[in-house]
Structure 1
């Protein structure tokens, strides 16, 4: 019985082999005939099973899973590069909206995390610049605004050719006489966004109505939080007004009352200053704002916080701020209010409610406001506190050898002074900037840095707001900033319009509260969201933090 079954099986197997051989021979013959007809060799390409898998993926509209990650398409560019590669993040990677993303910085509150790091990579161009994707109705040249010819000539001499996004959006609204809150990312050209239309209107008032500025009665007031920024704006205004009869003047609060009075003995069309000296001159009647048709509050997020708010409101209450379009009022009877800043002051409407109604303030903001700059690489290093000195020396020595201008930030004046001395003792030429310095010494620091007297500047946050640091290529947060708004302003010293590519930021992460802020930054990048809790009321928040973290310390 077994022999018969075996014989049957052998016969069947032999028949199958013969049938398979015949089919293969016929298939090979047909393929040879086809290839011969077109003069091509028989080439084996992709195996059938793999080919079917590829076709299935191409037709599928669902997510693609790879190495435990989920993608909408191919991974794309790497956006976050981590020391531990499982935390790398890619352009087309997505997360479950019901599950928080895993962060490279999640374990950084443990002392064993020292030495870890991750980098938010630069992945696109400067969002402040206009590109082909912008709508066709936005002006692409300054001539489109019908500005005064002398201002256009000055722009040409300054080698400024095309408006940025915020300039294209804000200039038309300001020219219409509206009260405008102009909010855009750092280094996007906000100074020109308000100076150009205001100076144009002053020139128009003079040419059309024969209006002349009298001594002690400026027609435009520009208020800023620091005199370094005031001097910078004065320089830009003077450059724009070079071929005109208008005068821009800086009001120096460090001068004696007698010198302040002499400032207003001759007419000044535009006065630029911090709020304190202006209020002092108003009280002593060295000047009056009765003729002012324009007031600009630059760095308004800082100006509206608890540090400057009372002084600023005191000045604004002395003016008749317009509540309608300037074209709807009699000329020169009301004052146009312009606010400008790199972060949006959330309490602006509440703070200014006694000055003007909320509906009378037009908000002009860019879409990239409060977001990580996509054109600047930002590295976060988890360090032990005792390793900071060696690491900063390594970084600065490398940058100095390559003549790379670097700007370092400290949270305290004492740390700023110590770091400058430490680097000087290491034979590195250093400039220092902080609020405790003698005013006369402070005046020349930024000028010397911009001229290249030294490529290394150690500063507190006094150097982080508003100032044009177009030559800076590297920012180092020796002390990690306490607040999100500080991080935005510090990082904004690089990647500015007109600057070079390849700018980068390095941040030392040491304290527990440092890690909390780093997590918020990393998460915002991974979920493609704006940076959270960007509130510039530093003075109020600092008091709250001191209460909450009274027992906190640095890692051991």
Structure 2
């Protein structure tokens, strides 16, 4: 396939692609979209920024709208036909924006039930009739146990950023969700890396899926330059201070391994007059989201984070990434 028009997508999707000047699919889109349109389960291992979201979003929207056109619309309340599971609210918000771009013309309803928002809000979101549920696994399980959502009509189940989703809690929740769906299910798993838990999923639930590795999977981008700096006697701060004194046009993100390390670094930065934002899992969710949006828009030049921000989030203005602890 050389262009999106070669996929045979419904007219409304093609119009939106044209309006957004999206002509040529990326490698993962070119290889995944025809398989999903043919109702074949897939595993897509591709680097961050390769277009994985659109690779599954377009087939989902096409398939659900085609069912509606055939006289088989969704009619039951709180009974989605497609579920997209994500590890974090931030990634969910990002995917929701992509879906909204296409559902404006392709009239399908997307509802979110993400961790980090009040349960009551999630309860309200899943009332009524809708086609697509975008949610974190733990929140789906909560709603299932309270019989606020029903998975007996799910036809498509997507695991996005699966390697970030497969700790023990996520794993048990994800398995419960998959078991609650019908046996005839179109499955999609998308990830930038294959860790032990993802491999276990690929060997079991996705054993019959078509596995796609893109040429760039597992590789660093060509424009990336790496530097290894020597730290003597564990004194990291003087080395970091010299690096931060070097001006950059875009933003800088610094990763620490733990929350405690994050706090210690924040204290050093504050004492030395640096303006920065914190982004970590135990923060107030509203504050964390506000900080991330400032960084994304370029209103904040320096972000300190644990690995929460390490994958799946789309930020254009980052020029420097520092791993403070290795």
TM-score after normalising by structure 2 = 0.92
Q: Distance in 2 between matches of 1:342 and 1:354?
A: 19
Equivalent of 2:133, from 243, 260, 271? Answer: 271
**Corresponding residue pairs, total:** 326
Cα distance change, pair 172–346 in 1 and its aligned pair in 2 (3 A)? farther
Structure 1: where are the runs of 5+ without partners? 1-138, 322-333, 481-556
Judge conservation of contact 2:254–2:303 (CA < 8 Å) in 1: yes
2:63 aligns with 201
Distance 1:390 1:307, change over 3 A: farther
Offset of residue 373 of structure 1 = 3.2
Task: Give the equivalent residue in structure 1 for 2:109.
Answer: 247
User: Equivalent residues in 2 for 1:135-534 (5 A)?
Assistant: 139-321=1-183, 334-345=184-195, 348=198, 350-351=200-201, 355=205, 358=207, 360-384=208-232, 386-399=234-247, 402-480=248-326
Larger RCO: 1 or 2 (CA < 8 Å, sep 6+) = 2
Shift of 1:225: 1.2
| Distance in 2 between residues matched to 1:428 and 1:153, nearest whole Å | 47
> Cα distance, 1:351 vs. partner?
4.1
Contact 1:213 1:269 in 2 (8 A): no
Structure 2 stretches lacking a partner, 5+ long: none
Deviations 1:62-119 (A, max 9, x none): xxxxxxxxxxxxxxxxxxxxxxxxxxxxxxxxxxxxxxxxxxxxxxxxxxxxxxxxxx
Cα separation, 2, equivalents of 1:391 and 1:159: 44
Q: Is the 8 A contact 1:433 1:459 kept in 2?
A: yes
- Partner SS, residue 226 of structure 2: strand
C-alpha contact (below 8 Å) 2:153/2:182 kept by paired residues: no
**Pairwise CA RMSD:** 2.1
Aligned twin of 1:552: none
Q: Distance in 1 between matches of 2:234 and 2:187?
A: 49
* Residues in 2 aligned to 1:187 and 1:344: alpha-carbon distance in whole angstroms: 17
8 Å CA contact retained: 2:113, 2:126: no
Distance apart, 1:234 and its partner CA: 1.0
1:268-327 C-alpha deviation (Å, 9 max, x unpaired): 321111110100001101101112111100112232343521111011111124xxxxxx
Does the CA-based 8 Å contact 1:304-1:345 persist in structure 2?
no
Give the distance between the partners of 1:218 and 1:479, measured in 2 at CA. Answer: 43
Q: CA deviation at 1:355?
A: 4.3
CA positional deviation for 1:443: 2.2
**Cα deviation 1:446-468 (Å, max 9, x = unaligned):** 22211112021111100012111
Which deviates the most, 389-398 or 336-345? 389-398
SS in 2 for 1:374: coil
